[in-house]
Amino acid sequence: MQMARSAKKFTEEQKAEILAAIDTAPDARMAKKLMCLNLRAELNLSARDISKLTGYSKGRVDDIISEYHRLGLESVVSKPQGGNHRCMPLEREAEIIREFDSEAEKGRMLEISDIVKVFEAESPGIHTSTVYRILCRNGWRKVMPRSKHPKSNPVEQEAYKKNH
């Protein structure tokens, strides 16, 4: 187990800070990043060995450790992860959808373009597919009008047209 020559040493205060952060980590992803720091601080493992233990790449381990030394623990702990960035709170989504409830209960046709306009006013640049996901999340479903009645009889319809 070798460490890079230019690696910085961890002070006792830093080691204690990392251990305390591991104990209070909000999720497994954060605990895993802190574990990278702890393995380097306590056991002096190389980035390659840490990557084998944590599942991160060697480069990612180097980035985590370097970032800690440059910017401190807060930069490692508070780093946002990608994922679902909602354009508005769920409660607000539900409020907007409720505005269309009365029209839907009357059996009137609602067009997605009308709903998108309302969401666009709240959150500019929102995509139509996002509005469809919001509707789904709030218990709505896409219902298309039928082109013809399922029990219709084309022969009877033609006879009606001729006799009428």
Q: Are residues 19 and 57 in the same domain?
A: yes
**Structural domain containing residue 27:** 12-77
The answer to whether the beta carbons of residues 61 and 18 sit under 8 Å apart is no
Task: Provide the domain count of the chain.
Answer: 2
Residue 67 falls within a domain, yes or no? yes
Residue 60 falls within a domain, yes or no? yes
Residue 108 falls within a domain, yes or no? yes
Residue 144 falls within a domain, yes or no? no
Question: Tokens at residue 130, please?
Answer: 């996002």
- Counting as low any pLDDT under 70, the low residues of the chain are 1-7, 79-87
Residue 147 falls within a domain, yes or no? no
The answer to whether the beta carbons of residues 47 and 4 sit under 8 Å apart is yes
Q: pTM for this one? A: 0.49
Give the model's pLDDT for residue 85: 59
Give the model's pLDDT for residue 55: 93
Give the model's pLDDT for residue 65: 93
The answer to whether the beta carbons of residues 34 and 78 sit under 8 Å apart is no
Q: Are residues 95 and 71 in the same domain?
A: no
Give the model's pLDDT for residue 5: 47
